[in-house]
Structure 1
Amino acid sequence: MSAHTPGAPPKPCPGPDRHPKRPAFVMPRGACDTHVHVFGPQAEFPFSEQRSYTPEDCTYDDLMQLHETLGIDRAVIVHGGAHGTDNSATLAALDLNPKRLRGVAVIPSGLPQQELEDMHLRGMRGCRMSTVVSGGASFAHLRGLADETFDFGWHLVLHFNRASELVDVAPQLMQVRSPFVLDHLARISAAEGVDSEPFRTLLRLLDTDRCWIKLASLYRLSAEPYPHRDMLPMIARVVEARPDRILWGSNWPHPICPVAMPNDGDLVNLIPLWLPDPKAQQLALVDNPASLYGFESIG
């Protein structure tokens, strides 16, 4: 996967499997899907002219219907790259369900404080930088965003095109004060694995106590068909090292998917394979997201 070629038309992006299976794995109460996107409706929220892909409309209503099928109570909407740095579509979804939803913004550094305050009040809890999609914020914004959002308690989210980029940006992550999330296991493929420099870097970053690992979109990183068992050694290592810093996400609606489109029910059924210990499941699905994103405790 690579960033958009300047001058090339944005490629159409297949939509998700619209018929999710009801999973056999039963989510615990308060479970959170920490990585979803909403797109459109395009008639109301136009896509960015700088986008690198054109998704189907995948709306708040679609998300709620999906999570009802999957048994998921909470979600974090990560602002989708197709909308660029205009966060209106994500904010509008957050406004519809403030107790159940939180968001991660895509913004440049240098925004007015009042704009950040408004986003925070509406449920934004982090900001994402990417080397994968165009029209958003690059890692050049890392230090500025870390400083500008620190007092709000926001975290940084890093979305890598290649795992080697983690090695390059690690010195900055060691220096900033903010918590940070490594999206999609920092894009470390099964072929690279536990002995690779990116994975060793990831383990060092976990020692900072500010690093969180998101287990999402791992179907992209596997060289094997479902259930992608070649990813298990890396998953086991990070869960063993810091079960209190693991997050789970579906990555619905799976934009720019380079492999066969997964069924979200199948993805939920991977959870007990990745996290066989019920305590680790409770942490990754309920307690860790509640801590990082500021959800209210379950009454």
Structure 2
Amino acid sequence: MSPGTGSSQGSGLTTQFLLPKDAVDTHVHVFDPKLGPYAAGRAYTPEDAPLKKLIAFNKSLSADSQNTKLVLVQPSPYKYDCSIMIQCLRMLRNRDSGAFGIAVLDLDTTTDAQLKEMHALGVRGIRLNFQADGKEVSTDRLVATLHQTAERIRYLPGWMIQVFVPGWSWDDLHDVILHLPVKVIADHLGGMLGPTRLSTDLQSAPTSQPGFKSLLSLARNSQVIVKISGLYRMSTDISSNFEDLQPIIQKFAQEIPDQIIWGSDWPHTGDGHDRVNGSLEVKEPFRVLDNLAILEKLHGWMGSNVYDRMLVKNPGRIYFD
């Protein structure tokens, strides 16, 4: 089985739950040591997930005979070396596939000319991942990095800051992000946890968890786009395909239907909390998920109109306009 592909045989799924024409998978990674080495100081070593497997996975979810569009996100094992992502963007464009990228960069050593070159190749933003190493998040450091990043990319058309932070962080970041000169993409439900990962006092009201109201406020002000992705990172309810996230996702669908996008998060890497004492000599296996069943859940929770907006209209406006 390909990394993270999963199967829905026997579940009665029809093509209405597959990705429609012009859908965009806004969060995928490529791990290919044949194209270039991982960073020496990385948090983990993943299994191989080359571009050809990504294309096969995408095709398995696509209702149309052509693959849907992709946004490649720089994965943390490569740190600031985006050369592998750039190679893959070139290969996808040579196939006439719609593809964009989100980079991870050391802005102290990256020139404006290099940023413009990446823009020409389809890069549309910079990712700040404060979750990959499993360590505590420093709000002061995050705020400083947000300001620095926004100042460097504000003149690049369509560029955004993509962040992966704990859900509570939005309370601390609300006023900062509200006044940033660029839009922000909130990775993986904005870090909002399902009841299976919440403290007992919040399990019956997951939309009351810290940060939730602030995240909705920023999205209503069109300053943040929430990515419906990484459900397995926010819930332990594997047997039901993460059904405990329903109230959170339905709230997003009801309150901010034009500010949500979807990402498969292929190839479903492990959890940063397991990496602090891990060995880089051992390849971390990918999780196997039933991606079609997850799409079915999302369709049922949102309804066809919002589901299609999430997959086609919203990412088309955000990445491709």
Q: In the alignment, what sits opposite 1:167?
A: 171
Spell out, residue by residue over 1:129-177, the C-alpha distance to the aligned partner (whole angstroms, 9 max, x if none): 011125xxx73421111111112120110111x2222222223212201
Determine helix, strand or coil for the equivalent of 2:100: strand
**Distance in 2 (alpha carbons) for counterparts of 1:83 and 1:104:** 13
Residues 1:150 and 2:154 are matched in the alignment: yes
Give runs of aligned pairs for residues 1-299 of structure 1, distance below 5 A.
16-17=3-4, 20-21=7-8, 24=14, 25-40=17-32, 42-71=33-62, 72-98=67-93, 99-110=97-108, 111-134=110-133, 139=142, 140-152=144-156, 153-160=158-165, 162-191=166-195, 192=198, 193-224=206-237, 225-257=239-271, 261-276=288-303, 278-294=304-320
TM-score by length of 1: 0.85
Unaligned runs of 5+ in 1: 1-14
CA contact (8 A) 2:228 2:262 kept: yes
Matched residue SS, 1:197: coil
Question: Equivalent pairs: percent with the same residue?
Answer: 26
Q: 1:44 to 1:229 in 2, by over 3 A?
A: closer
Worse-matched range after superposition: 52-61 or 260-269? 260-269
In structure 2, the gaps of 5 or more residues are: 134-140, 199-205, 275-285
- Contact in 2 for aligned 1:108/1:145 (Cα 8 Å): no
- CA–CA distance in 2 between the matches of 1:181 and 1:43? 30
Contact 2:229 2:265 in 1 (8 A): yes
Q: Aligned-residue CA RMSD in angstroms?
A: 2.1
2: CA distance between counterparts of 1:79 and 1:179? 18
Query: Is the Cα–Cα contact under 8 Å of residues 72 and 100 in structure 2 kept in the other structure?
Result: yes
Task: Answer yes or no: is the 8 Å Cα contact 2:5–2:288 preserved in 1.
Answer: no
Distance 1:265 1:207 in 2: 29
Q: Which amino acid aligns with 2:46?
A: P
Larger radius of gyration: 2
Q: CA deviation at 1:20?
A: 4.8
Corresponding letter in the other structure for 1:211: V
Task: Give the 3-state SS of the residue equivalent to 2:208 in structure 1.
Answer: coil
Q: Tell me how far 1:185 sits from its aligned partner.
A: 1.0
TM-score, normalised via structure 2 length: 0.80
Q: Single out whichever of 226-235 and 116-125 deviates more from structure 2.
A: 226-235
2:179 partner amino acid: Q
